[in-house]
Amino acid sequence: MRKKWMSVSFMLFVISALVLAACGGGSGNGNGNGNSAAGGESEAGASLLDEIKSRDKLVVGVKFDTKLFGLKDPASGEVEGFDIDIAKALAKSILGDENKIELKEVTSKTRIPMLNNNEIDMIIATMTITEERREQVDFSEVYFEAGQSLLVKKGSPIQSVEDVTSGTKVLAVKGATSVDNIKEIAPDATVLEFENYQDAFSALKAGQGDVLTTDNSILYGMMAQDANYEVVGEPFTDEPYGIAMKKGETALVEAVNEGLAALKSSGEYNTIYEKWIGEAPSE
């Protein structure tokens, strides 16, 4: 009897969970559509920069899951990283106080919709400036020069991509564009592909290859994990990170660019860069 009762209540639980999930998804979509419509209208109104100033708070979309750039510390609950420090510095330059800021989590998939829904004022989330994206959003000046680079054990004879030759074993990750890039630049090298970044880094540590290649932003994260390894050479692909803002908000873009320029000239940019990346930015 009790058993039957339990199975009935379990089924009820499952059904209600499913219903809730379905409703959640549905209403989420509904909100999304509603907001984007509203966003379209507000474009004609006052500039976003004035709105930010009057509400006295900057709302920034950042990553919560990316080492070095935007990572939520599970212990303290604080979000920290290069992108976060840039966001705080911009809040200081626009509103005079780096604490007048709200950080909202975005992913690569959600960031542009959230921006266009007016949920965030800008995206500072390891976002590469591309021509396709330029059609959807406006970008600030480049604030981080990302690109594919090389990670080697300290003291390695390989110091740049020119040293990757026929005898070199290059470690990479399956399915990444970095495999195609390195094969194009160093066609004679042996490329060994692994399931994920952690496996590839373990293989490098185990001496299964001479050099690991992928985006430098990921390599710097590995370097932070193990100081016996270093990123060498200039990035050999060009993936500049920019701050994305809603299209047409010229005043805000100008304010952000002024803020970035001031950061660079005051040397604060270099301080932030060194704090997270571990070395000074290359000129």
Partner 1 sequence: MPDFSILTENFDIYLHGFRNTILASVIALLGSFAIGTVIAVFRITPIRPLRWAGAMYVEFIRNIPLLLVVFVFFYGLPSLGITLSGFVCGTLGLMIYTASFIAEAIRAGIMSVPKGQLEAAQASGLTYVQAMRYVVLPQAIKIVIPPLSNQSLNLIKNSSILGVFAGLDLMYFGDQIASRTYVTFDTYIFVALFYLVLTLPLSYMARQLERKLAKSG
Positions in the binding site for partner 1 (CB under 8 A): 171, 174-175, 180, 192-195, 199, 202-203, 206-208
Nearest to partner 1 of 71, 173 (CB atom):
173
CB of 175 to partner 1, least distance (A): 3
What gap in Å lies between CA 255 and CA 197, rounded to an integer?
37
Q: Strand 148-153 relative to strand 137-146: parallel, antiparallel, unpaired?
A: unpaired
Nearest to partner 1 of 96, 157 (CB atom):
157
SS3 207: coil
CB 98 within 8 Å of CB 232: no
Nearest to partner 1 of 194, 229 (CB atom):
194
Q: Which two tokens stand for residue 237?
A: 């692909």
Half-sphere exposure of 20 (CA within 13 A, CB side): 6
CB of 212 to partner 1, least distance (A): 12
Nearest to partner 1 of 69, 194 (CB atom):
194
CB of 206 to partner 1, least distance (A): 4
Nearest to partner 1 of 195, 254 (CB atom):
195
DSSP state of 163: G
CB of 225 to partner 1, least distance (A): 16
What gap in Å lies between CA 119 and CA 31, rounded to an integer?
11
CB of 200 to partner 1, least distance (A): 9
Nearest to partner 1 of 169, 247 (CB atom):
169
Nearest to partner 1 of 185, 192 (CB atom):
192
Q: What is the DSSP string of 74-125?
A: TTT--EESHHHHHHHHHHHHHHS-TTSEEEEE--TTTHHHHHHTTS-SEE-S
Residue 64 amino acid letter = F
CB of 202 to partner 1, least distance (A): 5
CA angle 246, 250, 254 (to 5 degrees): 110
Q: Strand 65-66 relative to strand 211-215: parallel, antiparallel, unpaired?
A: unpaired
CB of 191 to partner 1, least distance (A): 9
What gap in Å lies between CA 106 and CA 111, rounded to an integer?
5
SS3 57: coil
